[in-house]
Chains A and B, each alone.
Chain A
Amino acid sequence: MRITEAWRVALDALRANRLRSALTMLGVIIGVASVVLLVAIGTGTKQKVEQQVEGLGSNLLLVVPGRIEVGTAPVVSPLDLKDVDAVSRVVGDPGRVAITIASGATVRAGTRSDFTTVQGVLETTPAVFTRSLARGRYLTGADVDTSRRVAVLGASVARALFPDRDPLGQQLALAGVRFRVIGVFAPLGQSLGVDRDDEVHIPVTAAQRLWGTQRIDGIAVKAPDREQIDELGERIVAELSRRHPDTEFSAVTQQQILGVLGDILGVLTGVLAAIAGISLLVGGVGVSNIMLVSVRERTREIGLRKAVGARPRDIGVQFLLEAVLLTSLGGLTGMALGVGTALLVDAVSPIPAAITWWSLALAFGVSAAVGIVFGVVPAQRAGRLDPVVALRAE
């Protein structure tokens, strides 16, 4: 029998039982669609996070107390501003060193209030982290040196506190202390569900006075070039370890962060895809089941075909193609559904989704393979039927 003929016969068989074929396909459709969708979400999230980490600024080196390892407890920072001066001497350029001391706090302006993250920083932050302002100006060295009570708002905070006014020059209250708004950041958007525009920067000196502390949380350094970054990190860690022998320090680069995040998100994507794959497997079992029913139902047809000269292989191929057709059509429909849903999710929800060609090829290939794997047993059974017995079947 010619293969085109076999395809036609398989298609006819599916058409003859439209509802059953559609329901059987539904299992595959849902499986493939969820694989495509979840892989798209995983990929989209990964891309976005990578973008944002890269957007922090290139050649970035983060120095924090403690180890950056899963399972280690956070360490109370022993660092203070004198350590920052020491690091600046190691780096050789204070303009490349940024710091932060952060705390959640409620900010008020008039009758409005917003709970946000308040960061005490140096004037170097925009240069190190590549931040730009939408309005006004950033903190200056003088602001830091004199503990001036001025603030730069993230876009979300500005919107929450001053929805119908220009925030510049307005007053806001932080733990009962008045600050004047001198600038507003350009929006950054969301990252992993976290609003990155939900922050307020004030001079680190003012923050320390506000919270009654001398410490800072961590230091960020922008290395002059990529080649020096590891060596610079070692020197900074060595200097800090000398100053604080009881504490361990870690320096991580952007690439390391990207690597760790990429690994985590890769695992996440894999887990999502595996869960979706289970539903594809269930769909495949459904196909197998329906094919067995189909073989039983058409036993007489099989007997007749054999009587007029169909070889076991002809019958087997016919039923195998039927199963493959079922899963392939389901796969294509599922792909369309998955892509459509992913685009919709990307467009209307904060969850990013990115369609990758390999995920489509994989989903389709897997669905066709599912047809083969789950069609083989029914097809073999059909091919091996004894024609005499088959012709007698009711």
Chain B
Amino acid sequence: MSAAIPTQGRPVRALPAGVPAIEAVDVSRTYELDGVSVSALRGVSLTIAPGEYAAVIGPSGSGKSTLMHLLGGLDRPTGGRLVIGGRDVATLGAPELAALRNETIGFVFQAFHLLPRTSAVDNVALPLVYRGIGARQRRERAAAMLGRVGLGHRLDHRPNQLSGGEQQRVAIARALVTDPAVLLADEPTGNLDTATGEAVLELLERLNAESGVALVMVTHDQEVAARARRRIAVRDGLIRSDTAHDRPLSDGSGGPATLDGAPSAEPRSASGSGPGHPSGGSGGAAGATGRLPRQAPGGVA
């Protein structure tokens, strides 16, 4: 199935060589709630390289969702510098930021966020609407993208006619139809059962390997995080560790211990020159092997 695809997958779009897809320098985010300042992020620096596969992990309230919103340009930092797709977010107005999201970022949400009463192909084509692309071309590109996620036969189904896994695939297709540099997935398997979630993860990993889109996955699930080649652990609004692994961890329970023990002094260097993986072919294979041991917890649950 994947052999037929490479023509579709452009390499990371429009970014000059060596430019990170996303770069955050000492980024903080403070909310004002009834006059009380709450710091969700307290100075985070990290770089997402083109094509890499990173997991952002942390307990709820750690600031990982805030981080994802910032990385995706949905929110603005209250301090520090945030550069997405080579553009400093602070210099952009709301319309420019929207255009930047459209061009550079693809979002996959836990709750799918598909438009009801709208066919799969129209859902996938939605980002192209805001790019001013004509209806016919939109449909062609959306249909091709649905083919790539294995839903070529479900183009005109509505979300309520699709299973949860299929809905998330539609959402993934929508995230990738614009050829973004970064795919931000926020708990993409959170609403799915184990087997379906597994299939969705495989799909994300495959697309990451094939098309060279950087995959940043926010999760509180250690097992899911363990599959990524880079794990960024967030707690109390700070990056506790940022570690790269040539191979995914084979043992899910070992993950958190390793992460916490890893040196966190230089998160930026770990990412910047770290193992960006534009050559995804072997990584995908590694992901496949690393997956096997985790059948056990799924079976217990």
- Interface set of A (CB-CB < 8 Å, partner B): 1-2, 5, 12, 16, 300-301, 303-314, 386-388, 391
Contact = CB atoms under 8 A, between A and B. Distances in A.
A204 B287 CA distance: 118
B63 to A, nearest CB: 13
A291 B129 CA distance: 23
Contact of A308 (B94, B130, B135): B130
B74 interface: yes
**Most-contacted residue by chain A among B98, B113, B131, B178 (CB, 10 A):** B98
A307 B131 contact: no
Contacts of A306: 74, 98, 101
A309 B115 contact: no
Contacts of A16: 117
A310 B130 contact: yes
Given A308-B107, A311-B99, A388 B130 contact: no
Contacts of B101: 306-309
Contacts of A300: 113
Contact of A305 (B95, B99, B126): B126
B107 A309 contact: no
A387 B126 contact: no
Interface in B123-177: 126-127, 129-132, 135, 174
Contacts of B117: 12, 16
Contacts of A305: 126, 130
Contact of B130 (A12, A301, A314): A314
Nearest to A9: B129
Given A16-B117, A314-B130, A387-B74, A309 B102 contact: yes
A309 B98 contact: yes
B109 A391 contact: yes
Say what secondary structure dominates the interface of chain A: helix
Contacts of B135: 5
Interface string B60-104: 000000000100101100000000000000000011001101110
A308 B115 CA distance: 12
B226 to A, nearest CB: 27
A300 to B, nearest CB: 6
Nearest to A298: B115
Given A5-B129, A16-B117, A388-B75, A308 B95 contact: no
B126 A312 contact: no
Contacts of B132: 1-2
Contact of B98 (A2, A5, A312): A312
Contacts of B174: 308
Given A2-B132, A307-B74, 10 more contacts: A5-B135, A301-B115, A308-B102, A308-B130, A308-B178, A309-B98, A309-B101, A311-B99, A387-B75, A391-B74
Contacts, number: 65
B75 A309 contact: no
Given A12-B117, A301-B115, A388-B69, A309 B94 contact: no
A7 to B, nearest CB: 12
Contacts of B107: 307-308
A387 B126 CA distance: 16
5 contacts: A305-B126, A306-B98, A307-B107, A309-B130, A387-B74
A43 to B, nearest CB: 45
Nearest to A301: B115
Contact of B95 (A2, A304, A307, A312): A312
B129 A311 contact: no
A18 to B, nearest CB: 12
A313 B132 CA distance: 14
A12 B101 CA distance: 25
Contacts of A2: 129, 132
A313 B94 CA distance: 10
B127 A309 contact: yes
Given A2-B132, A301-B115, A391-B113, A309 B99 contact: yes
A1 B132 CA distance: 5
Nearest to B186: A391
A284 B117 CA distance: 28
Q: Which are the 6 A-B pairs with shortest beta-carbon distances? A: A309-B102, A308-B127, A309-B130, A311-B95, A311-B98, A304-B113
Contacts of A314: 98, 130
A305 B75 CA distance: 15
Contact of B129 (A1, A304, A387, A391): A1
A313 B130 CA distance: 11
A315 to B, nearest CB: 9
Contact of A1 (B74, B75, B130): B130
B177 to A, nearest CB: 9
Nearest to A310: B130
Contacts of A12: 117-118
A201 B69 CA distance: 93
A307 B72 contact: yes
A391 B69 CA distance: 11
Given A12-B117, A388-B75, A311 B94 contact: yes
B31 to A, nearest CB: 10
A303 B75 CA distance: 12
Contacts of A303: 113
A17 to B, nearest CB: 10
A1 B135 CA distance: 11
Contacts of A388: 69, 74-75
A335 B266 CA distance: 71
Contacts of B74: 306-307, 387-388, 391
